[in-house]
A = this chain, B = another copy of it.
Amino acid sequence: MANDKKMVEDITSMEEDFAKWYTDICKKAELVEYTSVKGCMVIRPYGYAIWENIQRILDKMFKDTGHENVCMPMFIPESLLQKEKDHVEGFAPEVAWVTHGGSERLEERLCVRPTSETLFCEHYANIIQSHRDLPKLYNQWVSVVRWEKTTRPFLRSREFLWQEGHTIHATAEEAIIETEKMLNVYADFCERYLAIPVVKGKKTESDKFAGAVSTYAIEALMHDGKALQAGTSHYFGDGFAKAFGIQYQSKENKLEYPHQTSWGMTTRLIGAIIMTHGDNNGLVLPPDVAPIQAVIIPVAQHKPGVLEKAAELKASLEAAGIRVKLDDSNNSAGWKYSEYEMKGVPVRIEVGPRDIENNQCVIVTRHNREKSFVSLDGLADTVKEKLTEVREGIYNKALENRENRTYACTTMDEITKALDEKGDGFIKAMWCGDEECEDKVKEETGVGSRCIPLVQENLSETCVCCGKKAQYMVYWGKAY
């Protein structure tokens, strides 16, 4: 009863307060818990299990594309961080500094890695001599620290988990191919496994990663019309190699500078899942990363044969490779329904005495709450079909939301009007390429995120801001 009561406290509705709705889900679906260190969170078992599924799938994609995992130290000496000018300028203001080891003051302070380019460069300089040592295709799964002022679970925390790929190649061409390849891996991952449609694009000069020649990103549109950068892939040219003195002997016996890339995805993806698929009943999880893909809820479980049948069904689903949970606790069926809706379990299976008599059960899909009676024969196949249905259903819903909230604009007034009348979303507009216009669009309309999509459209011949000749079509948005 106490438990029933607890679940009746609804979460804030997203229409009422989207930010509160978001944090309510984070807490009530038991994804995270706050700690006494501001901006640092505990990722609880249910949240971490989502991350483990993300890791497992991505790690395989990285290995299938020839990458190897390594592990760099978490500390970067200040002098090492300072070796590449743009990089240190970008990161120094937001790093955590270690100044003491035990009771002794360190001779040189160390920062906790905000990203590991400098560590990889130091390592490359040690291990790369010849063209035969290239390429190195590395990745690591670690946490990094950035001393953010305002923080939110998953979206912006002072410590977050991520993977960072770092590769080094003999030629610029190879490195550029790698940068684009990993952008595609990221996009495929988001669309196939997280059911999140993304726009692949290039960041503008002013928005690049600190030290990069070019930064590519995938951008997704959240339910509230705000943009979220879900992954980035950077091409560094030979700038880091020159700063760190990394050279190799070419086949022609000449000393050359190699070319580098890096690319990363973070626990922010969990935030993207919540804000893309969630609803007012809680989380809605993409089946591929859901810790529990199907939950079996026995109805009138005290009646003879019900729990036995439920256990039998569980075993058959498990044998078919479905992640399944049987909840035979003493909580009421109603409590259980809300609980697993809150936790976003894609498929719910209800089975009671009458169902068993009829050799059937009820299946409810989380995203649309559709109920169907299905035969117990071949249940595993039916559940797999339903999981596919959920994946496709939530992908299409997200795509529809993005399409409904993407506004092609040719004047500044149109931008303001679209945002005012239709709410936040992606603004598609032409741009001349000048930073001045970029700043002005942001200032006057509030859309600070910008991304030049790889697939370009020609909306008009002129820049939305200054009216001069347009160079690019840009997606603008308010960013998470």
Q: Which residues from chain A sit less than 8 Å from chain B, CB to CB?
A: 33-37, 40-45, 48-49, 51-52, 68-77, 80, 92-103, 110, 112, 119, 122-123, 126-127, 138, 142-143, 145, 147, 158-159, 161
Contact = CB atoms under 8 A, between A and B. Distances in A.
A48 B77 contact: no
A123 B416 CA distance: 46
A110 B159 CA distance: 13
Contacts of A142: 143
Contact of A45 (B34, B36, B138): B138
A42 B100 CA distance: 22
Given A127-B33, A159-B73, A96 B94 contact: no
A376 B234 CA distance: 47
Among A34, A98, A112, A122, the one with the most B-chain Cβ atoms within 10 Å of its Cβ is: A98
A82 to B, nearest CB: 13
A69 B40 contact: no
Nearest to A100: B97
A89 to B, nearest CB: 13
Contact of A35 (B45, B122, B145, B159): B122
Contact of A75 (B40, B103, B161): B40
A36 B80 contact: yes
Contacts of A126: 33-34
A69 B44 CA distance: 8
Stoichiometry, copies per complex: 2
Nearest to A35: B73
11 contacts: A37-B76, A40-B74, A49-B69, A74-B143, A75-B96, A93-B102, A95-B102, A97-B99, A98-B98, A102-B147, A112-B112
B72 A42 contact: yes
B70 A42 contact: yes
A460 to B, nearest CB: 42
A232 to B, nearest CB: 22
Contact of A71 (B42, B94, B127): B42
Contacts of A138: 45
Nearest to A43: B71
Nearest to A145: B74
Contacts of A101: 94-97, 147, 158
A110 B49 CA distance: 28
Contacts of A95: 101-102
Contacts of A119: 35, 42
B73 A45 contact: no
Contacts of A94: 101-102
A83 to B, nearest CB: 11
A27 to B, nearest CB: 11
Contacts of A96: 75, 98, 100-101, 110
Contact of A123 (B33, B74, B145, B161): B33
A75 B34 CA distance: 13
A123 B35 contact: yes
A42 B94 CA distance: 24
Nearest to A68: B45
Contacts of A52: 69
A142 B43 CA distance: 13
A80 B40 CA distance: 14
A357 B72 CA distance: 48
Contacts of A68: 45, 48-49
Contacts of A145: 74
Contacts of A110: 37, 96
A159 B42 CA distance: 21
A76 B36 CA distance: 9
A91 to B, nearest CB: 10
Contacts of A98: 96-99, 112
Contacts of A51: 71
A306 B400 CA distance: 56
Contact of A70 (B44, B97, B147): B44
A226 to B, nearest CB: 26
Nearest to A52: B69
Nearest to A95: B102
Contacts of A159: 73-75
Nearest to A80: B36
A249 to B, nearest CB: 11
Contacts of A48: 68-71
Nearest to A51: B71
Nearest to A73: B40
